[in-house]
Amino acid sequence: MQSHGAPPYRVITARSAGGDLIDVALAPDDGGRMRVTAIGSTTAGAYRERHLDLSDHVLLPPAADPHAHLDKALSWEDLTPAVGDLDAAIECWRRGVDVFDETDFHRRARAAALLVLTRGTTAVRTHVDVLAGDDPYRGIRAIDRVRRELASVMAIEIVALPLPGTPSEVVLGALDAGADLVGGAPHIAEDPATEVAHLIRLAESRGVGVDLHTDEFLIGDHMTIGTFAELVAGWPADRTRTAGHCCRSSTMEPEELSQTVKALRTSGISVVTLPITNLYLQDRVTCFPLRSAPVQLTSPQSVHHPEGRS
Ligand SMILES: [Zn+2]
C-alpha cells in the first residue's frame, strides 16, 4: 500500500465493522513504530499526501496469536512425521530436533512469522523448547533474533518450554537467553502437581509470568489446573498467568467444571484454547467430540480466553 521509502501514512479513512466512516490517526512511537493515536473524526486534509483513503474498505484490528511454536513451524518436510496423536508428535520432534542448528531455527521461524504477518497477525506469543544437549538455547536465540528483526511490524513474546526434569539453572538460563515467560508441560511429568509448583517457583524467583501447557489430555486424574490456580491466586494483577489447551476440562463432570471455572476466575488465569490443534491431536475415536476445552472455559463471562493455533 505504501511505496518503499515514502513517509508513513498519518491518517487512514475507512469503514468500521459497523459500517461507519472513521478516521484512524497514526503517529510514530519512541521506537519508530506507527501507533494508533485516535479513532474518530480527524482533520485528514492536514495530511494530504500521508492520508490513505480506504473508505470503501472495512478496517479491522490486527489479529494476535497467543499460542504458537515458531521453533517447530515449517519442520514437516524435514521430519516427515507419520499421522498420529500428541504423543507421536512429541516423540517425532524429540527424535528429529538434533538436525536443526540455530540457522535452521531462524530460517523457519522467520518464514512462519512473515507468513502470519502477511495475513494480519501482528502479535505472537511463541513457546520455544529448551532443548536437550550442549546448546539448549539455540531455538530461543534464533527466535529472539527474529523478534529484533521484525520489531517494527510485529510483537513477539517468547515462552521457555522445558521438559520435566530440566535443571532449574537451565530453565532460568532460558530467560537470560531471551525468553520472557516460564512455560512447561507439567501434565507429562511423573508428578504433575510438583512440576507445576516447581515452574511457578522459578518464575517467581525472577518476577516473571508463566504460560503452561495445562492438562492436554482427556482421560486421567493427574489434572494440574486446580494447583495452578491456587498457586498464582496471590500474584500481582499484571503478572501473566496463562493456561493453554485445558483439554481435560472437556471431560469433567459438571460440578467439577463449575468449580474449575470459579478457581480460574479467582486466580486471574487466562485460558488459551487450541481447538484446531486438539481436535486433530487428541483421541479421535473414544472421546469424540470432547477434545478441546468446553464452552464454560471459553465464555468471556467465565474466564479470559484468547484462542490460538499451536
Ligand atoms: Zn503448545
pLDDT band (50, 70, 90) for residue 122: very high
Spatial separation of the C-alpha atoms in residues 48 and 11, rounded to whole Å: 9
Inform me whether the pLDDT recorded for 1 exceeds 50: no
Q: Report the Cα 48 to chain-centroid distance in Å.
A: 39
Best mean pLDDT range from 72-76, 221-225, 229-233: 229-233
Spatial separation of the C-alpha atoms in residues 175 and 171, rounded to whole Å: 7
Question: Per residue in 135-191, pLDDT tens?
Answer: 999 999 999 999 999 998 899 999 999 999 999 999 999 999 999 999 999 988 899
Distance from the CA of 241 to the center of ligand 1, in angstroms? 15
Distance from the CA of 69 to the center of ligand 1, in angstroms? 6
**Per the structure block, which three cell numbers stand in for 152?**
517494527
pLDDT of residue 47: 63
Mean pLDDT of 2-11: 66
Distance from the CA of 95 to the center of ligand 1, in angstroms? 18
Distance from the CA of 61 to the center of ligand 1, in angstroms? 25
Q: Which residues, including other chains, have CB under 8 Å from residue 98's CB and lie 6 or more apart?
A: 133
Inform me whether the pLDDT recorded for 45 exceeds 60: no
Helices marked H in the chain — which ranges? 76-79, 86-96, 102-117, 138-149, 168-177, 192-206, 225-232, 254-267, 275-281, 295-298
Distance from the CA of 186 to the center of ligand 1, in angstroms? 12
Inform me whether the pLDDT recorded for 284 exceeds 90: no
- Report how far apart, in Å, the C-alpha atoms of 175 and of each of 4, 102, 210, 307 are: 36, 17, 12, 25
Inform me whether the pLDDT recorded for 117 exceeds 80: yes
* Contact in structure between 303 and 269 (CB atoms under 8 Å): yes
Distance from the CA of 253 to the center of ligand 1, in angstroms? 25
- Give me the DSSP letters along 9-55: PSEEEEE-TTS-EEEEEEEE-TTS-EEEEEEE---GGGGGGGEEEEE
Distance from the CA of 139 to the center of ligand 1, in angstroms? 15
Distance from the CA of 103 to the center of ligand 1, in angstroms? 22
Distance from the CA of 309 to the center of ligand 1, in angstroms? 8
Distance from the CA of 183 to the center of ligand 1, in angstroms? 10
pTM: 0.82
Q: Which residue has the cell 535443571?
A: 167
Distance from the CA of 256 to the center of ligand 1, in angstroms? 25
Distance from the CA of 212 to the center of ligand 1, in angstroms? 9
Mean pLDDT of 74-95: 79
Length of the chain: 310
pLDDT of residue 80: 81
* Contact in structure between 208 and 181 (CB atoms under 8 Å): yes
Inform me whether the pLDDT recorded for 296 exceeds 60: no
Distance from the CA of 255 to the center of ligand 1, in angstroms? 28
Q: Which domains are assigned to the chain?
A: 11-58 (no CATH), 63-298 (3.20.20.140)
Distance from the CA of 63 to the center of ligand 1, in angstroms? 18
Distance from the CA of 278 to the center of ligand 1, in angstroms? 10
Q: Which residue has the cell 525468553?
A: 179
Distance from the CA of 222 to the center of ligand 1, in angstroms? 19
pLDDT of residue 263: 86
Spatial separation of the C-alpha atoms in residues 62 and 116, rounded to whole Å: 11
Inform me whether the pLDDT recorded for 270 exceeds 80: yes
| Phi, psi angles (nearest 5°) of residue 11 | -140, 135
Distance from the CA of 228 to the center of ligand 1, in angstroms? 17
Distance from the CA of 233 to the center of ligand 1, in angstroms? 23
Question: Per residue in 14-38, pLDDT tens?
Answer: 998 888 888 898 888 887 778 888 8
Distance from the CA of 213 to the center of ligand 1, in angstroms? 6
Spatial separation of the C-alpha atoms in residues 72 and 112, rounded to whole Å: 10
Q: Which residue has the cell 470432547?
A: 290
